[in-house]
Structure 1
Amino acid sequence: MGKNESTEAKTMSGLIYQVSDKPKILTAIILGFQNILTAFSGIVAVPLIIAGIAGLNVVDTAYLVSAALLASGIASIIQSRGFGPKKFRVGVGLPTVMGTDFGFVPPANTIINTMGGGMAGYFGASILGAIFEFVLSFFVKPLMKIFTPVVTGTVIALMGMSMMPVAFDWIGGGVGNPNYGDPMYILVAAIVFLVILLLNRYAKGMLNTAAVMIGIVVGYIISIPLGLIDFSQIASADWIQLPEIARFGIDFNPKFVVPFIAGYLVTVIETVGVMETLGEVTGSHLTSDDIVAGVRGDAVSSALCPFVGSGPAQTFSQNVGLIPLTKCASQFVAIVAGVILILMSLFPKLSTIVSIMPSCVLGGAGILMFGTVAISGIKTLSKVKFTNRNLLIIASSLGIGLGVTFRPDVVAQLPGILSSLFGSGISAGTIVALILSVILKDDPNEAEID
């Protein structure tokens, strides 16, 4: 592709950096760190919860956090780079950041406490479940046939909308915070939001591309005089933390994998949706083989992560929302982010600097990040013919998906696997969209509703 053609392609897609572009290393580090700031709270939150469930001491808890960063870095590189021949490729080859999802916390609690498997049982079940997900990846292609634009657009829109409560929990200071909703948190989030908004609209070059990171840094600095940051935690953190293989042991007892089956089924469904969204926001045409490679990337990463002390890996949707906002879809930047995560895992003091950031800072950025994902879905739906059939699919999926997101307790008492499958608004809405897409026959001659 010639220079003029490359420039034209970037203009048409709205991206400053395409998937194959390699920004200068300093630029890549800045943009990579921007991805880390966006994902950091999600990466470290699950190991902290798992440590609490297992009753681990401070030293073992700190190790779990470092292990989560290491595993996230490795998994992000696998998914972003992609390895192997096309038919058996592992990793989609698009910019992604990976980490352990909250959906795996309930089955982890069941294994560690109810079933008495402890941490060894949890890690063993994670690996066996990853093998299950790898096998499931070979059955994704038939699923892709019913991922029509009406289903894809609905899932992408739902993905952005269902993350909004998360953003506003961050703005409020985090779930469980005794000062939840303190006006000071809202003020900091509002400043971050406005900085990102104005830079994204009016700034040029790096100031535009790094708008999210700049906004977060501004919020971080403002939080210091407001007394929202406890720097004593940095002093108490170790300088170096080397990884250990199977520090807590690994128990491959098959009975422990049962609670994880539903979690991995949900992961497959959500990963397909995330891959579709990635294709949309990066301007990439993904084949069913590419989607399958993305699911395999999740599975292989989830099988490797427990060996270093982390739970199953899944692609983070918040980083997908970062792409259209920053106009950076560079695969190289995501790989650099993975390398930085690995380095941060080795130096706990560095990771602690980020971990003490108030959640309200990230909340200010979350509104725009998740909002842009929702708009990507709406953009896809704008190309869909709004017949009675398509309207029913969209309305039902968004209604149920958002309903579960806002009121998850409604489905908490569903029996067995149904509780897990419909426990997430994204998976619930996706399942409804897929089922209705099959049940409600498409009539090419059906008129569009005015």
Structure 2
Amino acid sequence: MNNNLLYTVEDKPPFGLSLLLAAQHLLAALGGIIAVPLVIGNVLKLPIPDTVILVNAALLVSGIVTIIQCRGLGPIGIRLPSVMGTSFTFVSAALAVGFSEHGVAGILGSSLVGAVVMIAGSFFMPNIRKLFPPVVTGTVVMMIGLSLISVAVDWFAGGQRSDANYAAPENLMMATFVLVIVVALVQWGTGIFSAAAIVIGMMTGYLLCLALGWIDFTGVKEAQAFALPQPLHFGLSFPITGIIGMAIAYLVTIVESSGNFLALGNATQTEITGKHLRGGILCDGLGSALAAIMSTTPFSSFSQNIGVITLTGVASRHVVALTGGLLVLAGLFPVFGALIVSIPLPVLGGAGLMMFAMIIAAGIQMLDNIERSKRNGLIIAISIGCGLAVTTRPELLDKLPIFCKEIFGSGITVGSLLALILNLILPQDKPSKVE
């Protein structure tokens, strides 16, 4: 982790450099932002134009909410460099509603009403902040990094384990090439070369892939040049079961986002207060309500981008607000997003593995500062062990009721909840008696 930030939260790098640095965050987040609407569109077998509307709205609203989260709007927003995007936490609940007679209208209506849970919950965040002492915070940050490693490994290998070309030697070599460039630039680069290490490494990898003929421009050719948002395109309906499912998912997201914001505070060297959490969670909830109206799925903060900050030392909220502007453009000009999506997965994997591992390192450093006691050891071990169990073997939950999968399907959620609960119920270690 960087002890000295190249750019602090309030710093404003020159516009040209800011644009390059903002592109790093865009590259790290774009795949995750479009993944959820693509999954929902494909599983529900929506017509391609409808899936495109979901994707474009996700990009556009992600940009708007990211800008508000970074710059603030009255009491709304954490005013730290946080990228916002569609969340996989809501996929199970969304598909359950989508397969009913209510379809996408039911998903969006349930999401709109369920967002009230997050909006209301934001006003209790100053009290909730007291439940996150260093042992809990460090455990949550470490669990965030650990849960992302499997994503980076699949990128590194070139796709999913079921793919025929998974872990092909050429994929591993390309990812390693990008990884080496990023590490070299972070370690020995100065100025822009260190700050923009991720985007430079990925651009170099992309150019090499282009020379090797690896780039598929089919999506770019098929993408629309310009697309206007279509509010309420699918309509809204309000099934009770869907609202309950979404409300549970929003409660889970409060825990996940709180962990992300605490990790963000560590990365930006900012003490996270209850006021920070209240503004951040309120922005989450209102952003998700806006997403429903604009015809896409709910939002949460992205942990991937915390790795970018940790690795590069660029903590400027103004840079990430510019990322929000790029996301708005991607939503209005789908061809722009399609070009970014054409980046081969091994190129993403080379940078991603380093970014996510740095979050783990940040968590370890936080835990290194706490008292070494049996109680703290139990909190860390049980929370991370159970969180990794769900992350590495999600089929553990297959035979449980669907609401259990919705609540405990995320390793971050399991680890965070256990750390919170164990910290509350385990008795403090008794001081040793002096003989």
Whether TM exceeds 0.5 here: the answer is yes
Report the more deviating stretch, 223-232 or 240-249.
223-232
Q: TM-score, normalised by structure 1?
A: 0.93
- Which of residues 128, 144, 147 is equivalent to 1:143? 128
Residue by residue over 1:147-190, the C-alpha shift from the partner in whole angstroms, topping out at 9 and shown as x without a partner, is 11111111101111111011001112222533222222111111
| 1:140 CA drift (Å) | 3.0
Equivalent residue runs for 1:240-259 within 5 Å: 240-259=226-245
Partner of 1:260: 246
Q: Is the 8 A contact 1:120 1:249 kept in 2?
A: yes
- Which of residues 419, 425, 429 is equivalent to 2:415? 429
Q: Is the 8 A contact 1:412 1:423 kept in 2?
A: no
| 1:228 CA drift (Å) | 2.5
| 1:441 CA drift (Å) | 1.7
Q: Are 2:335 and 1:349 aligned?
A: yes
Residue by residue over 1:288-318, the C-alpha shift from the partner in whole angstroms, topping out at 9 and shown as x without a partner, is 1211211111101101012222211110001
**SS at 1:163's partner residue?**
helix
- Which of residues 56, 62, 84 is equivalent to 1:66? 56
Q: Is the 8 A contact 1:78 1:301 kept in 2?
A: no
CA distance in 1 between counterparts of 2:168 and 2:56 reads: 31
Q: Is the 8 A contact 2:117 2:251 kept in 1?
A: no
Q: Are 2:140 and 1:158 aligned?
A: no
- Which of residues 363, 367, 382 is equivalent to 1:381? 367
Partner of 1:200: 186
Partner of 1:7: none
**Change over 3 Å in CA distance of 1:446–1:14 after alignment to 2:** farther
Equivalent residue runs for 1:46-125 within 5 Å: 46-84=36-74, 89-113=75-99, 115-125=100-110
Q: Are 2:386 and 1:404 aligned?
A: no
Residue by residue over 1:188-221, the C-alpha shift from the partner in whole angstroms, topping out at 9 and shown as x without a partner, is 1111101100000111000110000011111211
Q: Are 2:28 and 1:38 aligned?
A: yes
CA distance in 1 between counterparts of 2:67 and 2:36 reads: 20
CA distance in 1 between counterparts of 2:132 and 2:412 reads: 15
Partner of 2:284: 298
| 1:417 CA drift (Å) | 3.1
Report the more deviating stretch, 356-365 or 417-426.
417-426
Equivalent residue runs for 1:228-247 within 5 Å: 228-247=214-233
Q: Are 2:209 and 1:223 aligned?
A: yes
**Change over 3 Å in CA distance of 1:318–1:205 after alignment to 2:** same
- Which of residues 337, 342, 353 is equivalent to 1:367? 353
- Which of residues 299, 306, 314 is equivalent to 1:328? 314
CA distance in 2 between counterparts of 1:213 and 1:29 reads: 11
CA distance in 2 between counterparts of 1:422 and 1:445 reads: 36
Equivalent residue runs for 1:123-138 within 5 Å: 123-138=108-123
Q: Are 2:173 and 1:183 aligned?
A: no
Percent identity for Structure 1 against Structure 2: 40
The residue type paired with residue 103 of structure 2 is G
| 1:229 CA drift (Å) | 1.6
Partner of 1:277: 263
Give the superposed CA RMSD: 1.7
Partner of 2:158: 173
**Change over 3 Å in CA distance of 1:446–1:295 after alignment to 2:** farther
Between the two proteins, the alignment pairs up a number of residues equal to 432
**Change over 3 Å in CA distance of 1:404–1:369 after alignment to 2:** same
| 1:108 CA drift (Å) | 0.9
| 1:347 CA drift (Å) | 1.2
Residue by residue over 1:269-294, the C-alpha shift from the partner in whole angstroms, topping out at 9 and shown as x without a partner, is 01110111111110111111211211
